[in-house]
Every structure is written in structure tokens, then in C-alpha cells.
Amino acid sequence: HGKLGDAPCAGCHLADARKAHPAIGERRCTVCHTSTSDWGKVQFSHQAVAGQACATCHLGRKPKDGLHASLGAADCAACHRTSGWKPASFSHASLPAATRQQCGNCHLGRKPRDSLHANLGSTSCAACHVSTESWRRVNFDHARIGSTPCASCHRPPSTGIHPLAQGTSCSVCHTTQRWTPTSFRHPRIPEMREHMQLGCRACHPTTLSQAVPCSQCHGRGGFFEDD
């Protein structure tokens, strides 16, 4: 090559240059290839292709995940730097306005599998998750799940009176605003305090909706047959 002096490489390697680097255009090969004896010795700088879209050279290298697919023709440089593919400085604001609220386009398959989210159906994530910066900032409203039974999302307590309340709607005692206080009021019976000392199961051995008759303890044949 020494005999050729400063003759442009493309004078001889034109076909090779166009095949290997179609995006480089008319730039001199020596900008990156510093040795004529070793083609593999390269000192590349993105400044040599400044102003060109990343896809011009990296055509077909765009990741095929949901996030990148939803970005459409957005420039890679909106999130990535030429010094390193990672870390990326992604911002939801870089998404096209038409897809900004369609979380499922990127987070497809990442929806939590708990019963609450399952009952939400196709409700937009943005209906409850008010921030793209923190997943835990939530503004949930029970009205969004309509008449879905409470037990579909909430597990009833296994202590106290709840084991006896099987099949009873939570809304009989509780509201969606807060779990306590409750609106439960036991039907009035004489000497309520004394009866409560016996425990709920004394009168409701199976469920709350079924109660033993008073005669089981009072009156003829009962524990307190003189009452």
C-alpha cells in the first residue's frame, strides 16, 4: 500500500466498502482503519457518522421486546448513548402520546398474577398506578371492580367470628373505605353480656346464619330449666 500514497482506499476497495459499511457513505476508510496491513485494527468513533440515525448502521439490531416495538420510529439516542448501550436513560415521556397510557404494550406479561389484578380485567394500569416512577404509588377505587365479591381479592381472617361467617358477604359488616370500625350489631337478646361469655360457637356451632334455639339451654330439659 505504500506505493499508493494518499490514494483513497475506495479507489480499489469500493465494492468492499459499500458492502460492509453502506451507511459510511464517502467517508475515508482511514478514519477508522488505521492500518493497511491489518483490516481488523479499528479505532471507531461515532463522531465519524455524526448526524446519522442509529438504525442506519444498526439496522435489524433493534430489540424485539414490547417496549422497543411500541417506540416506533423513536430515535435510539433518546434513551441510549454511543458510549454504552447500558445504562439507558428511559423516560415514559419519550413514548408516542397515543401509546403512553397503554402500559400493556411494554409490560405485557408483567401484570401481577394475584386475584385483585385478575378481577380488573382489561382496566388500564394508569387507572390505579398514578406514577410511572414508582409502581407502589396507587390510587385504587373499589368502584372499578363493580360487584366483584370481596373474597375474590381479600382473604377473610381466620380468627374471631370470621370462621363462622362462611358465605356471608363482607359488606354486611364492612365497607370499602376501611376495615374497621364495622357496622355489625348483634340482635338484642336478654342478658347479652352473660351470653357473650359463652362464646359465639355456643349459639352458632356451625355458621352465623344458624343458631340453636333458646330451649336448648332454657326451659324444659335445658341446662336452666327453671328459667
3-class secondary structure per residue, the chain:
CHHHCCCCCHHHHHHHHHHHCCCCCCCCHHHCECCCCCCCCECCCHHHHCCCCHHHHCCCCCCCCHHHHHCCCCCHHHCCECCECCCCCCCHHHCCHHHCCCHHHCCCCCCCCCHHHHHCCCCCHHHCECCCCCCCCECCCHHHHCCCCHHHCCCCCCCCCHHHHCCCCHHHCCCCCCCCCCCCCCCCCCCHHHHHCCCHHHHCCCCCCCCCCHHHCECCCCCECCC
CA–CA gap between residue 226 and residue 50 (Å, rounded)? 103
pTM beyond 0.85, yes or no = no
CA–CA gap between residue 130 and residue 88 (Å, rounded)? 23
* Closest to 57 in 3D by CA, of 45, 42, 68: 45
Residue 110: the pLDDT is 65
- For residues 128-136, average pLDDT: 80
Please, which pLDDT band fits residue 198 given cuts at 50, 70 and 90?
Answer: confident
Cell numbers standing for residue 42: 479499528
Counted residue by residue, the chain has a size of 227
- For residues 194-211, average pLDDT: 82
- For residues 105-133, average pLDDT: 73
For the chain, what percent of residues have pLDDT higher than 70? 76
* Closest to 32 in 3D by CA, of 47, 44, 22: 44
Residue 127: the pLDDT is 76
Q: Is the pLDDT of residue 25 over 60?
A: no
Residue 223: the pLDDT is 60
Residue 24: the pLDDT is 60
The pLDDT tens digits for 75-84 are: 787 788 887 7
Query: What does pLDDT average to over the chain?
Result: 75
Listed range (22-31, 59-68, 133-142, 176-185) with the worst mean pLDDT: 22-31
If you compute the radius of gyration of the chain from its CA atoms, what whole number of angstroms results?
36
The pLDDT tens digits for 38-66 are: 877 777 778 777 777 777 777 666 677 76
